[in-house]
Amino acid sequence: MLRRRKKNPDAGAETDRTAVQPPPSRARPTMAERGAGAVAALGTGIARLVRLAAIVLALIIALGIAFKALGANSHNTIVSGVHDAGHALASPFNNMFKVDGAKATLAVNWGIAVVVYLAVGFAIARFVARLGAIRPLGRRRRLAQG
């Protein structure tokens, strides 16, 4: 513990005084504080789910690119399922660019789809997380007033 000696101005004698103050007693959190915490936790949870969904969709499309580029057996159930799901997810980006070769065209167009899914998914997740962290206007006014 930190201790220092300080002269008592009245008596002129030295006394011991601790520099560390005991922690202030904190009452239980109010209903509003618990509700704000619950809303923030819900917003964070939803943001994590949105981020996870964007990552899963991007992985499906990326696997479809890899299977096509590496020449995987299209009669395999897993390969055909991933390719069909990737085709459905990346259909707005099909034929966006024409490159020499069907595999290269698919890789470029679906690669753009991966980037767009990740960017939009993470932006939505950030927006949802910030919505959960915003304090209500009345609470901000009370905090500003002291």
Does residue 6 register a pLDDT over 60? no
Does residue 14 register a pLDDT over 60? no
Residue scoring higher pLDDT (26 or 54) = 54
Residue scoring higher pLDDT (56 or 42) = 56
Give the confidence band of 66 by pLDDT, cuts at 50, 70, 90: very high
Question: What is the pTM (predicted TM-score) of this model?
Answer: 0.67
Highest mean pLDDT among 38-42, 129-133, 142-146 belongs to 129-133
Long-range CB contacts (within 8 A, 24+) of 94-103: 103/68, 103/69
pLDDT in tens, 77-134: 999 999 999 999 999 998 899 989 989 999 999 999 999 999 999 999 999 888 877 7
53: helix, coil or strand?
A: helix
Residue scoring higher pLDDT (123 or 41) = 123
Interatomic CA distance for residues 103 and 99, integer angstroms = 9
Task: List, as one string, the DSSP characters of 92-105.
Answer: GGTTSS--SSHHHH
Q: Give whole-number Cα distances, 6 to 15, 19, 21, 109, in Å.
A: 6, 11, 16, 76
10: helix, coil or strand?
A: coil
| Average pLDDT score over residue span 14-21 | 58
